[in-house]
Structure 1
Amino acid sequence: MHPSKLMWSLMALAPCLASAQSSVSVYGVVDMAISSYHGTGSGSKQMLTSSGNQASRIGFKGQEILGDGLSAGFELEAGLNTDSGTGQPTSADNQKNTDSGGGLTFNRKAYVYLQNNDWGQLRLGRDYTPAFWNLFAYDPFRVGVGISSQVVYGTTATGFRASNSIGYFSPGCYSFQCKGAFFQGMVAFGENGGNAPSRHDGDLHAFRLGYGGENFDVAIASATTKSAAYGDYIQRNIGASYLWQGHRLMGLLGQNRTSNLVNFKDGGSANRINFWQLGAWISTGPGKGYFPVSYMQLRRNDVQGASSARKLAVGYVHPLSKRTVLYGTYAHISNKGALRFPVSSGSAQGPEPVAGGNASGVDLGIRHIF
């Protein structure tokens, strides 16, 4: 073949070779439920809610194989309120959850990464904090009326995710469940200027350390976010799970605290919440449905007198296929002292009860993944 023809043939083939080393995919969840929530002294509320079993979202991810065990990739994931078609808020500075006009924002994930089989993965962007992964991994409900995330308070902009972050994941452990010893670390920046005392607000450092065996896993995590008003906001927790005859048993223990007192809208003033939770996924057989159940207790050290809450949640998830399930969840929360937690802490909150009152609710829904 003439050299010029060979050159043009190779140039024509180059995009095909490049595409063989790269991949981009679209994925998502559409989850809708009919919900009815009640709060003592506040009446009841019926509504269509999003994310009763899994968080509704749309995402894009891709990876390019660079060779010699090295790859690069990205993930962009936007939370959706599928009952109204709106997007969800994000936080540009790790100090507030208000940076959204109701349109689509990649509030859940927005990062690029470099990965090597020997040294692990480095991520840059917006991502889950290491302390959040335990709340997710060891809560049987994770979202919806059954979730127990009421324990998050203080600078809640970093309760689940952090913007402007640099994250590290040990080899083979790029999500919340891993095998063998694993480590996750993160630093993030509030990106404030000047010399004011608040210049470090929104700065975060966090880690998660654990071990995954054949039928169990355990992990400890901590995250600290700077705040001039509250002092350091610290999340610490430890969680574990055990797989037994198809059933997954879970436990979670933790503390959230601030250096300074926080004045809550319920009238309490405190700087510490201790909590624990026991839960399980009770399987009805291989390829069949399961019953998620959980029981949680928390205690807040109000200077006016300690406040506490207990929450019980039970549900059933019935698969129609690998992608589609029907589900139902019932939850009840009992508040004591100044606490007035609603039964749901998600984007569609139920009525807040009076101080020390109870709340309850039910979700009946359908979830489809793609």
Structure 2
Amino acid sequence: MKKTIMIAALGAGCSGVACAQSAVTVYGLIDMAVVREGGAAAGSVTKLSSGVTAGSRIGFKGTEDLGDGLSAVFLLESGFQADTGAMGQGGLLFGRQAYVGLQGKFGSVLVGRQYTPEYLAVVMADPFGSGYVGDTKNMVATTGNSFSRMDNTVKYISPKIGAVTVELVAAPGEVAGDSAAGRQLGGSVDYTAGPLRLRYGYHNRDNDSATTHGVSSARNHVLAAVYDFGPLMVHALYGVNRGFNSAVWRNTANPFGYASMPAASTDSRDAMLGVTVPFGPHALMASWIHKDDRDAANRDANQWALGYRYRLSKRTDLYAAYARIDNRNGASYTVGSAIESGSGDRAASAGIRHTF
């Protein structure tokens, strides 16, 4: 259960200013699973992995009431590997998210490391929530290099106007002498009405290396939809990806033993159809994803995934999932999970997830 601490400014510290009340929440998630991966040149492997359905984490979030409907907000979220105790996201202290900002009747303005609107659109549509071995990130482009987050980000989230919410982001590349190199811009429009939710997301990232800057920026569009029929939920998305780094292989370690890794597509389309069938504490999840490579190499691929989740309580789940990718014409997509890129073209997992 989330632990909330209330703090009131008292005494001399309030002199000349309004006393503000703050709330700080400590929360987290621990995910552990046995994973069996197959189809790589090196052979099959069995692993005990952390963060298969969602990355294991501990976080701190808080608000301070500043009066007149205005609040200061912050969030610090650190990822870790429960199987080894190592830090996640390449060893960053708060690699999952780290931001501070203001929110009020105008919406929210947040500054720091944050999720991209385009990635959040993909997560909304994925019956696996961008996790399990059926993760959309195995094939669907998210912010070019399959990155879900942006550094140095200024994000604006509008208040809900009718059924619509707008989100905008911008981040400088911080390259001396070249304001365009590494610069990122994006946004989304979310429409929710009854059982229907639609979200359009866009992201543009200018390439920043000496060999790729100026070639063409990575431009990713996605239209995502979910419709709740009651007995089941139907999921769909369609994405358009153009430019250098608009789509890449999640695993760059050459898992299939090619003489050299093939270049990823600079012009591709992503399509996904999925379903979630909840019944009592149980839920079945399934999805199909197609990668349509429009480059001359025509490296298409298809992924099929099936999953099951059982809720022991509001905070504890048991789960199992299987996914397989059919790569065509030298494509090199691998079956990974929420935080791992995987080693081959198929994988199965069974595990437990606990939130607090």
The TM-score, its normalising length taken from structure 2, stands at 0.85
Query: Map of 1:75-86 to 2, 5 A cutoff?
Result: 75-86=75-86
Please state if 1:300 is matched with 2:289.
no
Q: How far is the alpha carbon of 1:262 from its aligned partner?
A: 8.7
Instruction: Count the aligned residue pairs.
Output: 328
Please state if 1:122 is matched with 2:102.
no
2:274, 2:75 → 1: CA distance? Answer: 31
1:224, 1:81 → 2: CA distance? Answer: 31
Q: How far is the alpha carbon of 1:296 from its aligned partner?
A: 0.6
2:246, 2:185 → 1: CA distance? Answer: 21
- Counterpart of 1:219? 199
Q: Which moved more, 1:145-154 or 1:289-298?
A: 145-154
Please state if 1:270 is matched with 2:265.
yes
Q: How far is the alpha carbon of 1:18 from its aligned partner?
A: 4.4
Q: Which moved more, 1:33-42 or 1:54-63?
A: 33-42
- Counterpart of 1:360? 346
2:313, 2:123 → 1: CA distance? Answer: 24
Matched AA of 1:208: S
2:37, 2:108 → 1: CA distance? Answer: 42
- Counterpart of 1:32? 32
Q: Is the 8 A contact 2:34 2:49 kept in 1?
A: yes
- Counterpart of 2:96? 108
Closer, same or farther: CA 30–248 of 1 in aligned 2, 3 Å? same
Q: Is the 8 A contact 1:78 1:109 kept in 2?
A: yes
Q: Is the 8 A contact 1:217 1:242 kept in 2?
A: yes
Q: Whose Rg is larger? A: 1
Q: Is the 8 A contact 1:126 1:162 kept in 2?
A: yes
Partner of 2:265, secondary structure, is strand
Q: Is the 8 A contact 2:133 2:349 kept in 1?
A: yes
- Counterpart of 1:200? 180
- Counterpart of 1:94? none
Matched AA of 2:65: I
1:208, 1:261 → 2: CA distance? Answer: 18
Closer, same or farther: CA 153–65 of 1 in aligned 2, 3 Å? closer
Please state if 1:283 is matched with 2:291.
no
User: Paired residue for 2:239, among 242, 254, 268?
Assistant: 254
Q: How far is the alpha carbon of 1:292 from its aligned partner?
A: 1.3
Please state if 1:188 is matched with 2:171.
yes
Q: Is the 8 A contact 2:308 2:320 kept in 1?
A: yes
Q: How far is the alpha carbon of 1:105 from its aligned partner?
A: 1.9
Matched AA of 1:214: G
Cα shift readout 1:278-326 (whole Å, capped 9, x = no counterpart): 11211113xx1211111111122343x3111111111110011100010
Cα shift readout 1:1-39 (whole Å, capped 9, x = no counterpart): xxxxxxxxx727959x946x2100111100000010101
Partner of 1:83, secondary structure, is coil
- Counterpart of 1:57? 57
Partner of 1:86, secondary structure, is coil
- Counterpart of 2:318? 326
- Counterpart of 1:151? 140
2:102, 2:341 → 1: CA distance? Answer: 38
- Counterpart of 2:149? 161
- Counterpart of 1:6? none
- Counterpart of 2:6? none
Matched AA of 2:216: G
2:80, 2:239 → 1: CA distance? Answer: 29
1:348, 1:221 → 2: CA distance? Answer: 24
Closer, same or farther: CA 260–139 of 1 in aligned 2, 3 Å? closer
Cα shift readout 1:75-96 (whole Å, capped 9, x = no counterpart): 011122221111123xxxxxxx
Structure 1's unaligned 5+ residue stretches are 1-9, 90-99, 174-178, 353-358
Structure 2's unaligned 5+ residue stretches are 1-9, 250-259
Matched AA of 1:105: L
- Counterpart of 1:68? 68
Q: How far is the alpha carbon of 1:247 from its aligned partner?
A: 2.1
Root mean square deviation of aligned Cα: 2.5
2:347, 2:132 → 1: CA distance? Answer: 10
Partner of 1:23, secondary structure, is strand
Partner of 1:135, secondary structure, is helix
Percent identity over the alignment is 32
The TM-score, its normalising length taken from structure 1, stands at 0.82
Q: Is the 8 A contact 1:39 1:342 kept in 2?
A: no
1:252, 1:163 → 2: CA distance? Answer: 26
Partner of 1:156, secondary structure, is coil
Give the structure with the higher percent helix. Answer: 1
- Counterpart of 1:355? none
Closer, same or farther: CA 187–209 of 1 in aligned 2, 3 Å? same
- Counterpart of 1:43? 43
